[in-house]
Amino acid sequence: MSIHFFTEDIKYQVKHKSILKKWLKEAIKAHHYLLQELNVILCSDDYLYEMNIKYLDHDTLTDVITFDNSDKEQTVEGDIFISLDRIKENAQNLNIPFEKELHRVIIHGTLHLLGFKDKTSQDQEIMRKIEDFWLEKLVLD
């Protein structure tokens, strides 16, 4: 039952790790899932782009790719890869703080591991509401 933060090909120190871990554990438990292991890997656009081509056959930049490694239902075991380059650009475009956008993408990846989808506009709307709900619950003080 652990959550880890890693970096690949970049230097970045995640702030408030213990608070973020508690927050993610709360979200996982509230959706009636059991946490096994969750890895959040922060990387560059180039790194995530290569993964997108190699594993998903998508020739595009993206902010997040989630891999579900669980072999049991209602269990979270997976990897969330996040491009900090995309997070920075998204935050600037949305005129929000970098950290808030990072937290949104972290919970977005976690929601994928909880079975939520975002392929249709209806699914995207549902997912955004749940992201907003969890972002409101995140208190960093």
Q: For strand 64-68 and strand 75-83, is the pairing parallel, antiparallel, or unpaired?
A: antiparallel
For 4-14, write each residue's pLDDT tens digit. 999 999 999 99
pTM listed for this prediction? 0.96
User: If you count them, how many residues does the chain have?
Assistant: 141
The answer to whether 141 is annotated as binding is no
Q: Is 4 annotated as a binding residue?
A: no
Q: Shortest CA distance to 27 belongs to which of 120, 137, 139, 105?
A: 137
45 is in an annotated binding site: no
* CATH architecture of residue range(s) 2-137: 3-Layer(aba) Sandwich (3.40)
Tell me, what amino acid is at 44?
Answer: S
Over the stretch 45-66, which tens digit does the pLDDT of each residue have?
999 999 999 999 999 999 999 9
Cα–Cα dist 79/71, whole Å: 14
Q: Which secondary structure element, helix H or strand E, spans residue 34, and what is its range?
A: strand 34-43
